[in-house]
Amino acid sequence: MNVTVVGSGYVGLVVAAGLAELGHNVICIDKDAEKIAQLREGKVPIFERHLEEVVRRQERRLRFSKNNLKAAVRQSDAIFIAVGTPIAPGGKCDLSYVDEVVDSVAEALSDVAFAHKLVVEKSTVPVGTGEQIARRLPKRVDVVSNPEFLREGTAVTDILYPDRIVVGTDSPKALAMMRELYRPLLDGSYALRADAVPCPESGKCPTRMIATTVESAEIIKHASNAFLAMKISFINAISAVCEQAGADVEDVARGMGTDSRIGPRFLRAGIGYGGSCFPKDLAAFRSVAGELGIDLDLLAEVERINVDQRQRFLEKVRFALGGRLKGKKVAALGISFKPGTDDVRESPALDIVRALIQEGCQVSAYDPAAADSARKMLYGIESRMRFASDPYAAAKNADAVLILTDWNEFAMMDLERLRDSMRDPVLVDGRNLFSPESMAELGFTYISVGRPAVNVSEPRATGTAG
Catalytic residues, which ones? 277
Cα 329 → chain centroid: 30
What is the C-alpha to C-alpha distance for residues 154 and 277, in angstroms, rounded to an integer? 15
Question: What's the Rg (C-alpha) of the chain?
Answer: 24
Strands (E) located in 196-308: 209-212
> b/e string for 222-260 if b means 16 or more Cβ within 10 A?
beebbebbbbbbbbbbbbbebbeeebbbbebbeebbeee
Angle, CA 310 vertex, CA 335 and CA 442 arms, to 5°: 70
Angle, CA 91 vertex, CA 85 and CA 95 arms, to 5°: 25
Element (H, E) at 402: strand 400-403
Evaluate the omega torsion of the peptide bond into residue 368 and state whether it is cis, within 30 degrees of 0.
no
CB atoms within 10 A of CB 334: 30
CB atoms within 10 A of CB 60: 8
Closest CA to 167 of 217, 225, 128, 222: 217
Q: Which sign, positive or negative, has the C-alpha torsion 299, 301, 303, 309?
A: negative
What is the C-alpha to C-alpha distance for residues 249 and 450, in angstroms, rounded to an integer? 5
In 3-state terms, what secondary structure has residue 138? coil
Element (H, E) at 280: helix 278-291
